[in-house]
Structure 1
Amino acid sequence: MVIRTFHDLTAELLAVLEGHTITERDDKIERITKLIDQRDGLLSRIKPPFTSEEQQLGRAALLLNQKVDHLLKLQKQEIQRDIQEINKKKRSSNKYTNPYESLSVDGMFYDKRN
């Protein structure tokens, strides 16, 4: 049953996003990507008519999916924050290693008298 598999994948994705199974960020992102790809493949195969059990599973999957969306947004914000912090550290480090790099040469005075 396709809807059951979709529901199970959604529940597993939610568990990964909540951090219950994987602690390393790169591994977590890789696992999230695989689960999303698997779910996308199943979406095209879900077609009506649905039995009452499939309808219940579909509703439950939709509720889980709302939580997944929220957690994915939080994960994205966390990654963006880390990228901004890294860029800020790079700029700060560059200013330390070459403090005169950002100085403007506007207003330079050239005296032609000898």
Structure 2
Amino acid sequence: MIIQTFHDLTVELIAVLEDRTIAERDDKIERVTQLIDQRDELLSQIKPPFTGEEQQLGRAIMLLNQQVDRLLNLQRLEIKRDIQEINKKKKSSNKYTNPYESLSVDGMFYDKRN
């Protein structure tokens, strides 16, 4: 049953997104991408008419999808925050290595008269 497999993949996706023990973020992102791709393939195969059990699973999947969206947004915000921190560290590192780079040349007078 395709809907049951889709449901199981959704539950697994939520488990991966909530798992804080995965040390490498790249591994986690790769697994999430695999699960989303698998779900996408199954989604194209789901066609009506649906049995009563499939309709119940569909409703459960809709609720789980809301949770997946929330977790993916949290993951995106975490990555965005880390990128901002890295950029801030780069900027402060550059100021340390070349402290006079960002000085303005305020007060300079340029006389255009000949």
Q: TM-score, normalised by structure 2?
A: 0.89
1:34 aligns with 2:28: no
Report whether the alignment pairs 1:23 with 2:23: yes
Contact 1:14–1:67 under 8 Å retained in 2: yes
Letter in 1 for 2:49: P
The amino acid across from 2:79 in the alignment is I
Provide structure 1 residue ranges, at least 5 long, that are not aligned to the other structure. Answer: none
* Sequence identity percentage: 81
* Number of the residue aligned with 1:55: 55
The two structures, once aligned, show a CA RMSD in angstroms of 1.7
Gaps of 5+ in 2: none
Note closer, same or farther for the CA distance 1:100–1:12 as it changes in structure 2 (3 Å cut): same
The correspondence of residues 48-87 of structure 1 with structure 2, limited to 5 A, is: 48-87=48-87
Aligned length: 111
Distance 1:23 1:35 in 2: 19
Separation of aligned partners in 2, 1:87 and 1:24: 20
TM-score by length of structure 1 reads 0.89
